[in-house]
Structure 1
């Protein structure tokens, strides 16, 4: 059964518009949620699968995927809005992402800059870290399974059709389904140990493609003796250290690879910091030992230096608008890496946008409540913050919320300094952070 344009399902709730794509199992439609007047994507079994003798078993796996994905709530994982049944077919209703996939985007641009590629790799890395914490591995990370939201250019991981539960270090039986060039050697074996390192390989291979425009040599050929061409051979502008970081993530033997996405991302981050000057070294050191209060102060000092406002000791609108995107990206990345994705400008910006993304006092108050800066209609003093990893999501950086003594010294009162938060987050939005 194939749905036709203008056909409705679920009692008229969804209006089918067109087929977006067909894969080995599923067909995905663009449809409209009639009551909300919004586009959605609906995935179900394609007509070929429907005719197979084992269709019932195939569909059971699809339903498992749908409910598995529905439990995953993360900014960089496609959102499942509904799981329903239409006749004999189970359907998964998802958010509709209009920006195309990362493979198409890279081909159009030929190669991505290291900065842009790193941004997307970190976003997908955060999504993978999240699903690994749920006891799942994705098993099909590749550029065509990463979509880009048009409005924010954020990367979103899709297609959990091969996702499976795993027990780290235990030999398990999985299907050997895979995508050549991105699958590690253990996915060529039905029984093998699998873990987060399985997705590390695929993420590193994806990074390889983004920076070169070329798909890396499949693992099976490397296992037989062929050599992986280093990405720097294809892209001479790539640094030696970043080149080596990608190769580390694509080591054939699973036990010799970085064992988690976070571990590999830290290798890449250290690599990039070694390329830049050392102005971020103090912040890196403080975050590495989880000295959140001192790291917060160092962050504010860095922003003042970069905006040339050290003498004044506070920020104004022109200063925040002139902040370099690169500066904000690096600071955000450091906070994300060392806080397990809990703290950083990008975390705060997403919450700010959920609240309307305005620069006004009402939004400041709502933001303060969500980020734990404001309790029972009162703004917390600097020394009342929760300087631990248990703080609420997005609690840091404090975005220039100075200690009370410093505020008095500068002659600033009330919530004036808190206005900088929305200004900086507005700048982060412009920088796609």
Structure 2
């Protein structure tokens, strides 16, 4: 079917029609783009799903038609400026995999049109209404991903000025977030102080006070992103997260779980949504630095004297360096890499166990003892860890597990409370007993951060003679001892 673009007609026509059967208008823009259906409309115009006939594959695209509903010459002029600004900003930004690409901008029949890449997916607002609030780990992942897009935007000297769940899409194919709607984006003024704009613009609740008064900074986008993250975390609208009396943010009271486990994330969000510009983050890099803050670890244990003199106690940091594309994966780990690259998490888990036993010379036994862990080659441990970190985008890996354990205050000495919290945090515990059968593991990319790899947790003979990879004994000291030996080796290897 073909959709007429005449705003006074909008007749649906047959696919091969050249002219609207109702009003007679030509259906193809520039003899190239034809609209299939209306995607939506707002104060500035309509958006159509369209097809680009000039390309052999006839790919889908989006046509934005400027059709202001504002009254008065001045209002229409401002709206027209914002519409053309989107085209200029998209052109200035160039190509980015998480920003829709601009294909064309032109005027036809005295109406302005913008044609850009079609992103198949749904907005985070629609996702929120459909599925409810996100978990802490999901919000952290979202925040880090969006910050990287925003870093690109700010480096191009552009401020978005309207970051909110409605302007962020979740792409259906790879589940990546995509930042859309640069209609009110504003170039960064290259002076010491930002100049006043003619008018403040943005979305109430998401825009900081300086923006509503007509001034914008990179930190203004960070405020909007912080509020967006809180909305996704709590499922509440911005007006329900702020106290009108004190002006403070009460988002912790709105958490569905009643409490926040990731306090590092909480501190970052608190600073992002400060009213005072001077107390807020000033750059994307500063936010990312705090999100990826290094965690120090000190192992103090009477039965690990070798660690007391270890040079890595001053102080080790989480090493999540990803393998560079130019680096060649050793043949021994190529099958593991293929499984991880394909998202086959359970098979990769089993391959991790197999290859670790192979490296340690314990293929026959099928499990690692304390001695083999203490002497496990650092280069092999690092290679395995980096493959997990790379293909899970920092969600899984030995170093991730160690990082989480350290952040909870874990040391080489057994502490039941910390060990329980750790098991809960990475999703290894189930119920009061705290034990979990391997076959009930969560082998998806949505598993809690640090959940994988898990198969090595059963890599010794548990009490009672249950041999091999079948049971995790998270409730007691047994698995802690195994984990502590591996964590010690990670420290020694500076992983």
Does TM, scored on the shorter chain, surpass 0.5? yes
Q: Which residue of 1 aligns with 2:59?
A: 38
Q: Is the 8 A contact 1:216 1:229 kept in 2?
A: no
Distance in 2, matches of 1:46 and 1:142, equals 23
Counterpart in 2 of 1:401?
A: none
Question: Which of residues 215, 219, 233 in structure 2 aligns to 1:211?
Answer: 233
Cα gap change, 1:5 to 1:88, in 2 (>3 Å): same
Q: Which residue of 2 aligns with 1:184?
A: 208
Q: Which residue of 1 is the match for residue 104 of structure 2?
A: 82
Question: Are 1:243 and 2:308 counterparts?
Answer: no
Count of residue pairs brought into register by the alignment: 315
Q: Displacement of 1:128 after TM fit?
A: 1.1
Residue of structure 2 equivalent to 1:13: 32
Match of 1:170 in 2: 193
Q: Does 1:107 align with 2:126?
A: no
How big is the alpha-carbon RMSD for the aligned residues of Structure 1 and Structure 2? Answer: 4.1
Contact 1:31 1:40 (C-alpha < 8 Å) held by counterparts: yes
Change beyond 3 A, Cα 1:283–1:89: farther
* CA deviation after TM superposition for structure 1 residue 102, in Å: 0.6
Q: Which residue of 2 aligns with 1:253?
A: 276
SS at match of 1:132: helix
Structure 2-normalised TM-score? 0.55
Using the alignment, how far apart are the partners of 2:172 and 2:291 within structure 1? 26
Instruction: State the distance in 1 between where 2:227 and 2:391 align.
Output: 25
Equivalents in 2 of 1:53, 1:158: separation in Å?
A: 28
Higher helix share: 1
Aligned to 1:329, what secondary structure does the other structure show? coil
1:247-286 correspondence runs (5 A) = 247-270=270-293, 284=318
TM-score, normalisation: structure 1 = 0.62
**Residues 223 and 252, structure 1, Cα contact 8 Å, conserved in 2:** no
How many angstroms does 1:19 deviate by? Answer: 1.6
Counterpart position of 1:69: 90
CA contact (8 A) 2:388 2:396 kept: no
Instruction: Evaluate the alpha carbon distance shift between residue 58 and residue 88 of structure 1 in structure 2; reply closer, same or farther with a 3 A threshold.
Output: same
Query: 1:9, 1:86 within 8 Å by CA — same for their partners in 2?
Result: no
CA distance, structure 1, for counterparts of residue 332 and residue 124 of structure 2: 36
CA–CA distance in structure 1, aligned partners of residues 323 and 177 of structure 2: 28
Q: Which of 394, 412, 426 matches 1:329?
A: 394
Q: How has the CA–CA distance of structure 1 residues 88 and 212 changed in structure 2, closer, same or farther, with 3 Å as cutoff? A: same
What is the CA distance between 1:248 and its match in structure 2?
1.2
In structure 2, distance between residues paired with 1:169 and 1:270: 30
Distance 2:320 2:48 in 1: 48
- Report how far residue 153 of structure 1 moved: 0.9
Question: Higher Cα Rg: structure 1 or 2?
Answer: 2
1:71 Cα deviation after fit:
2.6
Structure 2 unaligned segments of length 5 or more: list them. 1-5, 14-19, 21-26, 300-311, 338-347, 360-376, 400-495
Distance between the aligned counterparts of 2:392 and 2:48, measured in 1?
41
Query: For 1:277-318, what per-residue CA distance to the aligned partner results, in whole angstroms no more than 9, with x for missing partners?
Result: 99xx9564686xxx999xx89xx9999998343553899xxx
The C-alpha deviation readout for 1:46-88, integer Å capped at 9, x for no partner, is 2525x74243553243222212112322121121122222121
- The correspondence for 1:160, drawn from 159, 182, 187, is 182
Moved more, 145-154 or 15-24: 15-24
Could you tell me which residue of structure 2 aligns to residue 96 of structure 1? Answer: 118
For residues 52 and 263 of structure 1, what CA distance do their matches in structure 2 show?
43
Q: 2:224 aligns with which of 172, 181, 202?
A: 202
Partner SS for 1:199: helix
Compare 133-142 and 55-64 and name the one that shifted more: 55-64
